Amino acid sequence: MVPQDFGLNCPEYTMQRIDDYGDLPETLSRGVVFIIGNRGNEWLAALSCPCGCDSKLLLNIMDDVHPYWRWTVDKDQLITLSPSVNRLTGCKSHFFLVKGRVDWCGRPLSFQQ
Ligand SMILES: [Zn+2]
C-alpha cells in the first residue's frame, strides 16, 4: 500500500500531449494530465489520482461517447476538466480539476476514519 497524502503536496496539473503514435509512460506522476490523440482528435485523458494512491485515471474526452469530460488549458498549460472526477472504486476520490488545481468534493472515503 502506497502512503496517501490525499492531495496534500499535490502539484498543479499541467497538460502534456501524446499523439496517436506516442506511448503513455508506464507510471504517471501527479501534476500531469496526458492528452492522447492527434490535435483535434484527442480521445483520452490520463492522470495519476491526486490523492496519492497512484491509481491511473483514464477519462474519455470524445464527445460522441458518454460519459465524456471536457478539457481546456490556459496559456500556462494548466488544465481544467469538467465535470468532476468521481471514483466509484478504490480510493473513491471525488474532485474537480480547475486551472490545474485539485478541488476536493469532501475528503476521500478512506481518510474519514
Ligand atoms: Zn486516489
Model pLDDT for residues 13-47, shown as the tens digit of each residue: 999 999 988 899 999 999 999 999 999 999 999 99
State residue 111 phi and psi, 5-degree precision. Answer: -95, -5
pLDDT, average across residues 69-84: 97
Q: Ligand 1 centre from 14 Cα, in Å?
A: 18
Q: Ligand 1 centre from 62 Cα, in Å?
A: 24
Distance CA 53, CA 42 (A): 26
Q: How confident is the model at residue 108 (pLDDT cuts 50, 70, 90)?
A: low
What pLDDT score was predicted for residue 4?
Answer: 66
Residue 16 near residue 35, CB atoms below 8 Å: yes
Q: Ligand 1 centre from 88 Cα, in Å?
A: 11
Q: Ligand 1 centre from 73 Cα, in Å?
A: 23
State residue 28 phi and psi, 5-degree precision. Answer: -100, 140
H-run or E-run covering 45: strand 44-48
The pLDDT mean for the chain works out to 90
What pLDDT score was predicted for residue 5?
Answer: 74
pTM (predicted TM-score)? 0.88
Query: Residue 88 corresponds to which cell in the numbers above?
Result: 466509484
